Structure 1
Amino acid sequence: MVRRSSSATCPQLPLVTILLFIWVFSWGHVMAYPDIANMTALQKHASFFDRNKDGIITPSESFEGYVAIGCDVEFSRETASSVHAALGPKTSPVDAPLPHINIYIDQIHKAMHGSDTGAYDANGRFVPPKFEEIFIKHAKVRPDALTSLEVEELILANRDPLDPQSWGGPVKEWGLSYKLSSDKDGFLHKDSIRGIYDGSEFIKLEEKRRSSRSEM
């Protein structure tokens, strides 16, 4: 029996049709964005969760990122779902494929919320004076770190009374930061907080988790 070649059993599509299919299914997944040196601090923060570095964060990538920094599976799943439901529509270009659940790093500044410290400007750039204010105003036990009570005070002090919908974001963000990065004495150090703003702390947390797993 003569075996037919695989090409003989497949319909021959016009080249234009093939290219169209490739464009439809790959658009939004091969988006280029500025190299890390030219990113804003907020883009660097978000890019940790862009596990394949294509400029777009999918829910599964966020899940993987949360697990990588030490969150449990259930928390990672629930947080990834809620984050993408909230930020996907805000950062997706109007012509992005539906549903708008992916987060686009080049538009991440559009997802910024109120009641924050002001350490990011409107474009997601880091603002050193505002960052220093965190410790000038709230670091009372140590000048270079925050206790859990000081973190709570920081959150309350920055609440916008005219925007109560923005109150929940800082509670979750600072709560997670404190849980993952505070030391054994209960201090969340200045360099760790700075690293959270630009994402470098996430890399350290992932490396720490990977190292501890390899030693088991």
Structure 2
Amino acid sequence: MGSPPVNEDAMTTEATQAPITRARKLNTDLQDQVAKPYLARALEAVDPSHPNGTEGKDHRNMSVLQQHVAFFDRNNDGIVYPWETFQGFRAIGCDLLTSIGGAILINLVLGYSTQPNIHKCKHGSDSETYDTEGRFEPSKFDAIFSKYGLTHPNALSSEELSTMLKANRNLTDFNGWILSYSEWQLLYKLGKDEKGLLHRETIRGVYDGSLFEQLEKKRASHSKRS
């Protein structure tokens, strides 16, 4: 039995009485670029350039959110202690003050509530690329760029990043505002290119933690040359 016919109105992503839907566009061709983009992935951060996730990365059967955090579990015992958070921040090139502040605040705010379930650290006012169980949502990730990457289809400028953060704010969710702003500003500082652009691949890499591994290797290589 075939699917019932769908008319044009049932598929449109813009409403004339809601101009914001025209300003913040969705990629209507995403299903041709990624298989089942509506399906949240538990193990891999997929996009059109990476339909099977990050090549060569061992997901160890952890959720994408767990993979994001695993870099900071320096001894691989399943628990991220404050000194490990500090070591992880230093490993990716953060300065001493940022590393100390991050270790104290992250473990203080999230340490107790995320034992033993890291998905509880998901906060509001974000892109919703992680679902509430820590899976990776391809359609939500793609919307970051279709909605806000207006000057470069696969990157965000500083101004576009600011626009996205403001647009994602949930009413009265002050904790979410602060957390989202802090996370994205740190990512922008670490990952922007010489033109001040934060590229899609850099952002995708932070979701599954592969960016952290790359930054650590880059920093170690630089230290050896020095």
- TM-score category (smaller protein): 0.7 to 0.9
Q: State the partner residue of 2:138.
A: 128
Work out the CA distance in 1 between the residues paired with 2:199 and 2:145. 10
Which letter maps to 2:144?
I
Q: State the partner residue of 1:109.
A: 119
Q: Deviations over 1:72-112 (max 9, x none)?
A: 112101111000000012112xxxxxxxxxxx5xx110111
Deviation at 1:173, TM superposition (A): 0.4
Work out the CA distance in 2 between the residues paired with 1:121 and 1:165. 18
Deviation at 1:40, TM superposition (A): 1.0
How does the TM-score come out when normalised to structure 1? 0.76
Deviation at 1:165, TM superposition (A): 2.4
Which letter maps to 1:54?
D
SS in 1 for 2:112: helix
Which letter maps to 2:146?
I
Work out the CA distance in 1 between the residues paired with 2:87 and 2:209. 15
Task: Say how many residue pairs are matched.
Answer: 170
Which letter maps to 2:76?
K
Work out the CA distance in 1 between the residues paired with 2:158 and 2:64. 25
Q: Deviations over 1:113-157 (max 9, x none)?
A: 100101000101000000000000000110000111111111000
How does the TM-score come out when normalised to structure 2? 0.73
Q: Please tell me whether residue 210 in structure 1 is matched to residue 195 in structure 2.
A: no
Q: Please tell me whether residue 188 in structure 1 is matched to residue 186 in structure 2.
A: no
Q: State the partner residue of 2:101.
A: 78
Pick the structure with greater CA Rg: 1
Which is richer in helix? 1
Q: State the partner residue of 2:69.
A: 46
Unaligned runs of 5+ in 2: 1-42, 44-57
Question: Which of 78, 82, 89 lines up with 1:55 in the alignment?
Answer: 78
Which letter maps to 1:67?
R
Deviation at 1:38, TM superposition (A): 1.4
Work out the CA distance in 2 between the residues paired with 1:130 and 1:62. 28
Work out the CA distance in 2 between the residues paired with 1:177 and 1:153. 16
Work out the CA distance in 2 between the residues paired with 1:164 and 1:75. 21
Unaligned runs of 5+ in 1: 1-33, 93-103
Question: Which of 143, 147, 152 lines up with 1:142 in the alignment?
Answer: 152
Question: Which of 147, 158, 161 lines up with 2:168 in the alignment?
Answer: 158
Work out the CA distance in 2 between the residues paired with 1:50 and 1:37. 14
Q: Percent identity?
A: 46
Q: State the partner residue of 2:114.
A: 91
Q: Specify which structure has the bigger relative contact order, considering alpha-carbon pairs within 8 angstroms and separated by 6 or more residues.
A: 2
Q: State the partner residue of 1:28.
A: none
